[in-house]
Amino acid sequence: MSAENKVRLVDVWVGVRDPRQVTKVEHDLVELLVVSVSAVLSGADTFAEIEAWAKEKLDWLRQYLKLEQGIPSHDTIGRVFAAINPDEFGAAFVRWVGQVLPVLANGEVVAIDGKTSRRSGRVGATPLHLVSAFAAQASLVLGQRATAEKSNEKTAIPELLATLALEGCIVTIDAMGTQPNIAQAIRNRGADYILAAKGNQPRLAESIDDFFSAFEAAPGKTPHQFHEVVEKNHGRLEVRRCYVFDQLDCLHAPERWPDLQSFAVITTERTIRGKTTSTERRSYISSLVPDSQRMNQSVRLHWRVENSLHWCMDVVFGDDQMRACSDHAAHNLAVLRQFVLNLIRLSPVKRKGGLKTQRLIAATSDSFRAELLGLV
């Protein structure tokens, strides 16, 4: 994070209203949130761990915060997180990202994808499902929207898109988001789209499959673009071949898709020690002009959301083990974790090791922690 884009931590949460009765407030809301961010950055994954860490680091925290009533209990922290309006909390996150990353690079791939926090929610209740926007090249979360379940992603995605500055970006979404209104919402934000065509749009997917089968029978007769990537790693070979076409009149109801300019088929063949282990074929529609290299690279970048966001949330922050179940607690804690993930990746101070190592160093080094938090 450059000095000119640095935002004071106490200013991030402006606009988030304190849900508590004024006469019953002992601990300042902004201070409670700063303490929570500091603790999660230092390895705390639960409200009890936030309290325990903060009590041990009270003297350090008081260099930057008043904390007149000391450290709140984990029950108090949990109640506050449960009561905070998640829309306001998420909006504060998006505003902060817009301040520290005011402009995304032209052509930045923004992957929209959902993840379920499996153990959140009470017994018998639907766990939290969070749809996030992830800038693949920058490896930063841009925003998020919660849904009751995965099937509601197509409602949450337009709401999320409406909050983001996406001019010049390429938005990629898996099949659940392949809807004409979502394509229009992306175009309304000044971005291009690449949408997967699968069973949720069966007639569209079938028309692409039929076209490609005919193409394979006589490839020399059909104008197209082709791009191939070969990756070798520890005895594993992966070949991704991308075929891009602009024969839109061969698709089912192409007029339903705003500014549609191309469609693509990408095949992936994986070989381990000379033996083919899997082959896949995926289809896409796009508002981009035909460009097989750009299409191949953009689709590949989309899947960074799995390793660079979802995997990190589970393995580094214990998201799937989260047991916060009261009201909005799980949602707000998940957003806070994404905030910490961004903080680490934005830091100009680089230490060797992955995210787990960065949290370990933050837990033990007061100066490194203060730098990551923008306190110095």
Residue pLDDT, tens place only, 196-223: 999 889 999 999 999 999 999 999 999 9
Q: What pLDDT is stored for residue 190 in this prediction?
A: 97
Most confident of 140-149, 264-273, 346-355: 264-273
Of 30-39, 98-107, 191-200, the least confident:
98-107
347: which DSSP letter? -
Q: Which two tokens stand for residue 319?
A: 């998201």
Q: What are phi and psi of 72, to 5 degrees?
A: -65, 155
SS3 content of the chain, % helix, strand, coil (to 5): 45, 20, 35
pLDDT exceeds cutoff 80 at 118: no
Percent of the chain with pLDDT over 70: 94
Taking the C-alpha atoms of residue 186 and residue 258, their distance in angstroms, rounded to an integer, is 10
What is the three-class DSSP state of 375? Answer: coil
Residue predicted with more confidence, 200 or 320: 200
From the list 304, 368, 372, 363, the residue with the least C-alpha distance to 340 is 372
Question: 265 and 283 in contact (C-beta within 8 Å)?
Answer: yes
CA atoms within 13 A on the CB side of 207: 16
Residue pLDDT, tens place only, 277-291: 889 999 999 999 999
Name the band, by pLDDT with cuts 50, 70 and 90, for residue 125: low
From the list 161, 162, 157, 135, the residue with the least C-alpha distance to 146 is 157
87: which DSSP letter? H
Q: What pLDDT is stored for residue 325 in this prediction?
A: 64
From the list 113, 105, 124, the residue with the least C-alpha distance to 166 is 105
Question: 251 and 208 in contact (C-beta within 8 Å)?
Answer: yes
CA atoms within 13 A on the CB side of 281: 9
Taking the C-alpha atoms of residue 354 and residue 313, their distance in angstroms, rounded to an integer, is 13
pLDDT exceeds cutoff 70 at 150: no
Q: What pLDDT is stored for residue 122 in this prediction?
A: 53
Taking the C-alpha atoms of residue 105 and residue 308, their distance in angstroms, rounded to an integer, is 19
Q: What pLDDT is stored for residue 7 in this prediction?
A: 78
Neighbours of 343 (CB within 10 A): 21
Q: What are phi and psi of 353, to 5 degrees?
A: 105, 165
Of 77-86, 270-279, 364-373, the least confident:
270-279
Residue pLDDT, tens place only, 259-268: 999 999 999 9
Taking the C-alpha atoms of residue 126 and residue 102, their distance in angstroms, rounded to an integer, is 35
Of 106-110, 308-312, 315-319, 334-338, the least confident:
315-319
Specify whether the backbone of 190 is left (phi greater than 0), alpha (psi in -120 to 50) or beta. Answer: left
In this prediction, residues 14-26 reach a mean pLDDT of: 91
